[in-house]
Amino acid sequence: MFFESWGGLGRVLVVGALAYIALVVLLRISGKRTLSKLNAFDLVVTVALGSTLATVLLSKDVPLLEGILAFGLLISAQYIITALSVRSAAVRRFVKSEPRLLYHNGRMLDDALRKERVTENEILAVARASGYADLAKVGAVILETDGSFDVIGQAEAPESPTLKDVQGPGKIG
């Protein structure tokens, strides 16, 4: 159906504008960390906020104030979890995964690839996307906590302090 009523269109305009303003205000109050994508928990909060906004906009069964309360609840939960993870190693381990070394100094790390469900072809694609035509020039490929890949050149990798928190065979950094 293309059109149901003028009232429905008006509701989307008014509620949409107010919900959007409320979400922007709550996000500004809560700080930049709320929408970061550093781990899976952050992604869930971002997706849930978008889903909540869509529901408030399009469902006549969800009043604006309930939607704003839902925004506040999600943002508060994210704020509390991230604040606790900064203060508690146990919460941090529960919420965040560790980055994992998948390729290091000319060697595919088969156990790590298997555990992370990544193929050698994906490592090759990541190296190409990072501008490396020759895998011999790649020192390390890391699967980050947010699911992205980072490629470090051979000259930078062996003693790189950025690898100190990366899971891999032995301690790298």
H or E segment to which residue 166 belongs: none
List the one residue out of 34, 70, 77 whose CA is nearest residue 55. Answer: 70
d(CA 103, CA 121): 12
Is residue 119 within 8 Å of 102, Cβ to Cβ?
A: no
Secondary structure (3-state) at 31:
coil
pLDDT tens profile 18-68: 999 999 999 999 988 888 777 777 888 899 999 999 999 999 999 999 999
CA angle 22, 28, 34 (to 5 degrees): 100
Name which CATH class applies to 100-163: alpha beta
Is the pTM value of this prediction over 0.75? no
Q: How many helices (H) and strands (E) does the chain have?
A: 6, 4
Where exactly are the structural domains of the chain?
6-94, 100-163
pLDDT tens profile 78-103: 999 989 989 999 998 888 888 999 99
Given a cut of 50, is residue 173 above it in pLDDT? Answer: no
